[in-house]
Amino acid sequence: MGITELRRDLLELVRIPGPSGFEQPVAEVIRKKVEPYISTIQVDGMGNLLATKKGPEGAPTLALLAHMDEISMVTTDVRDGFVWFDFVVDINPAVTSGQPVLILTDKGPVPGVVRSPSTHLGQTLNRLWIDAGPRCSQAEPGDPIVFDTTPRWLNDEETLLASRAVDNRQGCAILLETARRVADVDLDVNVMFAFTVQEEIGCRGARYVAKTVHPKWAISIDTGYGGDPEAGPGVGVPLGTGPVIRRFESVKPLRGMLLFFADPLLVAELKESAQRAGIPYSLDVRFGLFTDAAGVYDEWSDIKCVSITVPRRNSHSPYEVVDLNTMEQTASLLTDFIQNLR
């Protein structure tokens, strides 16, 4: 167990299109992978895949959440021989120019390329459309669109991956690895591995878990900012320095400010687990973003919540970069935490 399985799972998961509201293909693959290691499995009314390893009768439940959906765009019009689109989530338009995409139509996926302005003609990036050749006619308004880039390794050890959908298939791969590690361990709690839907558009799957399951604890596993030269010192956590325990996060959704402080006892217990297992970690706070933990807390503030993030570079882009060593450390952290949770 370890890097080998994480590498295999991550490579398989990042290749599956699964925008918000269309996560079923991802869930089907995860279900086959996780089923041997848990007691029960179900898909709830929202489409969340809930895989539970049961503890003693009457034991409280820990929910570990990782969202299956990825950043996406949506078809707005088909005219003039091109597919016009807009962004479902925050994506810098500049990173889309010239990139390969898949339009997920009712007739099947249609490959295309986002328009790239001509420097020879002095064009600017003021309008974007997709060239899918004659197959443009298969697209309809409302069809989701995802990046179609090919994963690539950035080091010889194959532990530094650049790929589409790292956010948050890496979290799903971490949950799979954690489920393998605790499969044969007697636990004092129920552990629900919740592979959630629609995080990118408001943590809707996680909110549904909060309402219907109401776990005692909830920990979301997601990506976080990795450092880069333009961001400058103190912004983000460098790749390869271990998992990040987020103590505070906030964002302004349509219905007002969403913010929460991580539960202090959970933070303390995660620190103890990291120290026992010899895992380096960082603490941070984030403004202007959220994870599933914030959605759970906003729905039921008596659920003790925290998020653990894995640093990645190139947020919400065709090539997000993640370190598999940190993913493995996160699985080790969760394993120790679960085994010592009472």
Residue 244 is inside which H or E element, if any?
A: strand 244-251
Number of other residues whose CB lies within 10 A of the CB of residue 29? 17
Note whether 40 and 181 are same-domain residues.
yes
Residue 158 counted as domain residue: no
Q: Would you state the pLDDT for residue 232? A: 63
Beta bridge partners of 320: 163
Q: Would you state the pLDDT for residue 278? A: 97
Note whether 25 and 124 are same-domain residues.
no
What is the number of structural domains in the chain?
Answer: 2
Q: Do residues 307 and 219 make contact, with C-beta atoms less than 8 angstroms apart?
A: yes
Q: Would you state the pLDDT for residue 260? A: 81
Residue 170 counted as domain residue: yes
Tell me the mean pLDDT per 10 residues along the chain, length 342: 89 98 98 97 98 97 98 95 94 92 97 81 72 95 97 96 97 98 96 97 95 97 83 76 91 62 95 97 85 91 95 95 98 98 92
Range of the domain at 31: 3-70+165-339
- Token code pair at residue 38: 């848990």
Note whether 293 and 267 are same-domain residues.
yes
Note whether 13 and 38 are same-domain residues.
yes
Supply the CATH number for residue 89's domain: 2.40.30.40
Q: Would you state the pLDDT for residue 165? A: 98
Note whether 277 and 185 are same-domain residues.
yes
